[in-house]
């Protein structure tokens, strides 16, 4: 004898409408399930942003400690060999923490777009059930880029370039590039290069680090979008 558990329609309220079912009760089940998923996405976004702020704060704390340490060593050694050795030891650690922080912040931003996409789909489901509520939604309720931007609260007051420059990953990327430039300049002066050329090459390292991080950010976003499209439950 076949167990009723083998038939999902026997336990799933949304699998179909059994004879005599109360349509109001079924709608209540649907709204409850959608609302639960909506709150799950909101909680996930909150955790992601908390991690983002924590990671950025940790990096800036490490950077501040390194700067204070460099200042104390410079005062004690009069910018001698001890200062150079200390800088060559501490700055790579700071740069490593900065790069890992930047990579994780980029991942969090990509994941956040995914959660926003999911919430837009849930709002669309709400409007399918209650279309007269559409005038009261100030966030997006579709799958396209414009709807996602609308959910983020952007109203076209700036450009994509200006927005990209003020994000948390961009700020960390700028600091990383500066740390890399200072580290390169100190290393070059240690091999007997004069200050002028060393600073010039440090500026080149700064620009190269900025370009590299911008490239990584865009590449990561494109790959995430392709993967998202491949797994889109709506079929693209």
* Structure confidence by residue, pLDDT tens digits, 112-135: 988 998 899 999 999 988 888 888
Specify the pLDDT at position 222: 87
* Mean pLDDT, the chain, integer: 83
Specify the pLDDT at position 234: 57
Whether residue 66 contacts residue 90, with contact meaning beta carbons closer than 8 Å, is answered with: yes
37-53: average pLDDT: 92
Whether the per-residue pLDDT at 194 is higher than 60: the answer is: yes
Which pTM value belongs to this model?
Answer: 0.79
Q: How far is CA 164 from CA 52, 154, 160, in A?
A: 16, 13, 6
pLDDT tens track for 126-168: 998 888 888 888 888 887 778 888 888 765 555 556 667 788 9
């Amino acid at each position: 004898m076949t167990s009723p558990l083998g038939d999902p329609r026997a336990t799933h309220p949304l699998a179909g409408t059994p004879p005599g079912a109360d349509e109001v009760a079924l709608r209540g089940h649907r709204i409850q399930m959608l609302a639960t998923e909506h709150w799950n996405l909101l909680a996930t976004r909150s955790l992601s942003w908390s991690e983002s702020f924590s990671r950025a704060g940790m990096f800036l704390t490490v950077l501040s400690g390194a700067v204070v340490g460099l200042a104390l060593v410079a005062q004690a050694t009069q910018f001698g060999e001890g200062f150079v050795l200390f800088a060559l030891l501490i700055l790579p650690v700071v740069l490593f923490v900065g790069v890992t922080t930047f990579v994780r912040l980029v991942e969090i931003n990509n994941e956040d777009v995914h959660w926003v996409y999911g919430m837009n789909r849930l709002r669309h489901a709400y409007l399918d059930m209650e279309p007269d509520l559409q005038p009261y939604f100030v966030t997006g309720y579709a799958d396209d880029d414009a709807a996602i931007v609308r959910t983020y609260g952007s109203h076209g007051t700036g450009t994509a370039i200006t927005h990209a420059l003020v994000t948390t990953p961009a700020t960390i990327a700028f600091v990383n590039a500066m740390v890399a430039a200072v580290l390169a300049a100190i290393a070059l002066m240690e091999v007997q290069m004069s200050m002028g050329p060393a600073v010039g090459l440090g500026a080149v390292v700064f620009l190269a680090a900025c370009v590299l991080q911008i490239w990584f950010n865009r590449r990561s976003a494109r790959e995430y979008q392709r993967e998202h499209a491949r797994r889109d439950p709506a079929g693209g």
